[in-house]
Amino acid sequence: MNSKVFWCTNCLNMSTRPRITFDERGWCNACQWMEEKKTLDWSARWKELGEILKKYRSKTFGFDCVVPVSGGKDGSYVSYNLKHKYGMNILAITVTPALSLELGNTNLKNYIESGYNHIQINPDPEVMRILNRVGFIEKGFPYYGWLTAIQAAVVKLAVHLNISLIFYGEDGEVEYGGSTESKYRAMYDIEYMRKIYLESGHEKVLKASGLSDSQLYFFQFPTKEELKGKKLKITHWSYFEPWDPYRNYLIAKEHCGLTEATESSSGTFTNFAQNDQALYALHTYMMYLKFGFGRATQDTGIEIRRGSMTREQGVNLVRLYDGHYPEEFMETYLKYYQMSQYEFDSVLDKWVNINLFEKINGRWAPLFTVK
């Protein structure tokens, strides 16, 4: 194993996480941001938010802004604040994921019925399947097609409806460890989406799919011609106030009808997040194979940084839950990707970090111990 692999001394972020940095204390940039948030002048950002909302609040009866939602805690929280605290006329947009789960469908229905204008985009399922399959093989990203659509289709629809302001939830790079280039700026653009969220692989996956432009309508960003004369602004709500996923869950549960799972989610100890689709379990398992950390590491980091868990408790939970092979969905995955078990496992083998794992009895086992 690479002897240089290490973990944040405050949370459990791993040195293998893309774009992460550490200070002289061994604290990752997510923990540094947690520390900085306690003394940051949030009033200046609230004022900036007020000015943005005033500028983009419609002078007619049109929508003021778009909020992408899944029915989960974060989009619900952002929606609730914009509508009820700031009086914005929001349009919620959902891009239906592949292999949606019943709990996710129920939560989305409850969210809509709690009082929101909503559009649900259902891209051609076969086109989505092909792009997800190509993304799985070529990027090690099991729902790459859907990830593309929740950005490209949302932006495209906002542009065509002449809505200039889009609010996503948190900036994961800043909140959880990654690039800090957007830490002090409210707005970001399509190129940032392509580079960071789509890992600079957008065009490669679309081309490899062999699909036509008409089939890829919901997976392509607006052209320069379509954007001409538009004043599109994209931002994260987390820029304007301290982000707290658990608080978001409580607000969504109280005001938007969010229901948590009866058992903990695949690969972790929590039960109130990412309950909308079966492919998320595979996504976090692939993350584990590529980088050595899984969903439990992410969740413990959040809990440690919000002060509700010690690092020692986090280590125990990560050792218990991380690296869960999503056996419960395997039949569904093979049918969806139209793969044999051998073909599926070959994709996993292609993306595994052999410096971190060895194969024992057909399963990848870590060469490291979380500490």
CA 56, CA 233: separation in Å to the nearest integer? 10
| All structural domains of the chain | 56-239 (3.40.50), 263-366 (no CATH)
Residue 75 CA to its chain's centroid (Å) = 11
Per-residue pLDDT tens for 16-53? 999 999 999 999 999 999 999 999 999 999 999 999 99
Q: In the chain, helix, strand, coil percent, each to 5?
A: 50, 10, 40
Q: Which pLDDT belongs to residue 1?
A: 46
* Contact yes or no for 206/127 (Cβ under 8 A): no
**164, 231 Cβ separation under 8 angstroms:** yes
Whether 60 and 86 have beta carbons less than 8 Å apart is answered as no
**Dihedral angle sign, alpha carbons of residues 116, 98, 265, 138:** negative
Q: pTM for the complete prediction?
A: 0.93
Please list the residues that pair with 166 across neighbouring strands: 66, 234
User: Taking the alpha carbons of 106, 288, 304, 177 in that order, is the dihedral positive or negative?
Assistant: negative
- Report pLDDT digits (tens) over 107-165: 999 999 999 999 999 999 999 999 999 999 999 999 999 999 999 999 999 999 999 99
Q: What is the dihedral of CA 64, 151, 181, 166, to 10 degrees?
A: 0
Query: Which three-class secondary structure state does DSSP give residue 212?
Result: coil
Of all helices (H) and strands (E), which one includes residue 118?
Answer: strand 117-121
In the structure, what pLDDT confidence band is assigned to residue 272 with cuts at 50, 70 and 90?
low
Over 70: is that where the pLDDT of 204 sits?
A: yes
Element housing 314 (H / E): helix 311-321
Say if residue 43 is exposed, middle or buried (CB neighbours under 10 Å; 0-12, 13-18, 19+). exposed
Q: Kindly report the CA angle at 303 between 301 and 306, in degrees rounded to 5?
A: 105
Query: Over the stretch 281-328, which tens digit does the pLDDT of each residue have?
Result: 999 999 999 999 999 999 999 999 999 999 999 999 999 999 999 999
Region for residue 344 given its phi and psi (left: phi exceeds 0; alpha: psi -120 to 50; beta: otherwise): alpha
- What's the rounded Cα separation, in Å, for the pair 299 and 273? 10
Classify 273 as helix, strand or coil: coil
Going by C-alpha positions, the residue among 41, 68, 59, 49 that lies closest to residue 187 is 49
